[in-house]
């Protein structure tokens, strides 16, 4: 599904990613861990198509196509979803209008008919119940005045609405109390299928008590320095990231 090869990335002429290799197949759940500043969000941004991020070399193939050639909206139409580390507040744009525009644009691109107003509202209700997003929030402007936890739930809500093939969730667990964390993990687990894939980015291990990854990668200073099964997460928890520094230098 996703093949990242020897990816080098700069932001403002500063090299942030230094030769990333990663392959994600349908049905898989990957966790990318690593200390702050190691480049996790930068990787997520490249996948979603953020413009400030420059790919200097390497390639990203998505279902056989060149992902880097696509606009952000085209990536979304083809099933790529980014759960933002910092969801953006957009005053004046209602959640309903936002989601209706997004869902219908995606359907249009896929040759499907637009949802009727009532079908759309039914879908909204169903999915907001699913992630435990309070009804009054879907009546507000996008993320405006949402608490940290509500913003993260809102990301999972949007994921549920758009039903993506490849979800990249950037620190969707950070800043959450235990109930919200469980709700987010529960959402991810329930949305998991044989034909979709999820990449969760986190720098805490606690999310992985609720989401069992097939693979764990450690991103450190712009490189994936370790890849293994879920036991790697436990090892990290025990030894902390300091241990990496020594490992890598060896």
Partner 1 sequence: MSVVATKQEVVDKYLRLYKNNIDEINTYGADFLNNKRQEAFDEFKEKGFPHKKNERYKYTFLQPFFEYDYKSNFSPNTYQVNLDEIFKCDIPELDTYTVLTLNGNYYTRNNPAESLPKNVVVTSMQEASQKYPELLKKHFDKYAQKHEEGLVAFNTMFSQDGIFVHVPKNVVLDKPLQIINVALSERDLLINHRNLIVMDENSQANIVVCDHTLCFRRYLTNSVTEFYLGDNANLEYNKIQNENNESIQIGHTYVHQEQNSYSRFNTITLHGGLVRNNLNIRLLGENAESQAQGLFLTDRKQHVDNYTNIEHVKPHCQSTQLYKGILDDQATGAFNGKIHVYPDAQKTVAYQTNNNIQLTDDAKMHSKPTLEIYADDVKCSHGATSGQLDEKAMFYLRSRGIKYEEARFLLLYAFADEIISKISVEPLQMRIHELVDRRLRGELSRCHNCQITCD
Ligand X SMILES: Nc1ncnc2c1ncn2[C@@H]1O[C@H](COP(=O)(O)OP(=O)(O)O)[C@@H](O)[C@H]1O
Binder of residue 109, out of partner 1, ligand X, Mg ion, none (CB less than 5 to 8 A by kind): partner 1
34 touching partner 1, by CB under 8 A: no
Q: Are residues 199 and 166 in contact, defined by beta-carbon separation less than 8 angstroms?
A: yes
Strands 29-33 and 53-62: unpaired
Q: Which of 23, 71 has the CB closer to partner 1? A: 71
For the bound state, the minimum distance from the C-beta of residue 182 to partner 1, rounded and expressed in Å, comes to 25
Q: Are residues 155 and 85 in contact, defined by beta-carbon separation less than 8 angstroms?
A: no
41 touching Mg ion, by CB under 5 A: yes
Cβ-based neighbours of 44, under 8 Å, separated by 6 or more: 82, 85, 168, 170, 201
For the bound state, the minimum distance from the C-beta of residue 135 to ligand X, rounded and expressed in Å, comes to 32
* Angle, CA of 132, 136 and 138, to the nearest 5°: 75
Which region, judged by CB under 8 A, interacts with partner 1, from 54-62, 99-107, 121-129, 220-228?
99-107
13 touching ligand X, by CB under 6 A: no
Which region, judged by CB under 8 A, interacts with partner 1, from 12-20, 85-93, 131-139, 210-218?
85-93
Which region, judged by CB under 8 A, interacts with partner 1, from 11-19, 68-76, 207-215, 219-227?
68-76
Structure tokens that stand for 13 in this block? 């002429």
52 touching ligand X, by CB under 6 A: yes
CB atoms within 10 A of CB 179: 10
Q: Which of 3, 77, 192, 221 binds partner 1 (CB under 8 A)?
A: 77
Q: Which of 20, 22, 30, 38 binds ligand X (CB under 6 A)?
A: 38
Judged by CB under 5 A, the chain residues 119 through 148 that form the site for Mg ion are: none
Cβ-based neighbours of 83, under 8 Å, separated by 6 or more: 152, 155, 156, 158, 159, 167, 168, 169, 170, 172
For the bound state, the minimum distance from the C-beta of residue 249 to partner 1, rounded and expressed in Å, comes to 37
Q: How far apart are CA 222 and CA 9, in angstroms?
A: 9
217 touching ligand X, by CB under 6 A: no
DSSP string of 133-158? --HHHHTSEETTT--HHHHHHHHHHH
Which residues of the shown chain bind ligand X in the complex (CB under 6 A)?
11-12, 14, 16, 34, 36-42, 52
């Amino acid at each position: 599904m996703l093949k990242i090869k020897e990816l080098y990335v700069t932001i403002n002429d500063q090299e942030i990613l230094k030769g990333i290799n990663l392959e994600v197949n349908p049905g898989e759940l990957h966790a990318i861990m690593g200390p702050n500043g190691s480049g996790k969000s930068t990787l997520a941004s490249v996948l979603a198509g953020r413009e400030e991020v420059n790919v200097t070399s390497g390639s990203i193939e998505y279902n056989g196509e060149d992902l880097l050639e696509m606009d952000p909206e085209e990536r979304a139409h083809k099933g790529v979803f980014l759960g933002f580390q910092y969801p953006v507040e957009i005053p004046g744009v209602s959640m309903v209008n936002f989601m209706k525009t997004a869902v219908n644009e995606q359907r249009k691109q896929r040759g499907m008919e637009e949802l009727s107003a009532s079908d759309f509202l039914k879908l909204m209700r169903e999915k907001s119940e699913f992630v435990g997003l309070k009804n009054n929030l879907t009546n507000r402007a996008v993320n405006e005045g949402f608490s940290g936890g509500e913003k993260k739930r809102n990301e999972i809500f949007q994921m549920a609405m758009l039903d993506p093939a490849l979800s990249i969730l950037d620190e969707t667990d950070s800043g959450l109390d235990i109930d919200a964390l469980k709700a987010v993990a529960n959402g991810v687990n329930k949305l998991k299928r044989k034909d979709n894939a999820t990449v969760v980015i986190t720098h805490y291990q606690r999310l992985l008590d609720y989401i069992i990854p097939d693979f764990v990668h450690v991103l450190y200073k712009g490189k994936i320095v370790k890849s293994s099964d879920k036991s790697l997460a436990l090892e990290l928890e025990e030894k902390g990231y300091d241990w990496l520094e020594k490992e890598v230098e060896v």
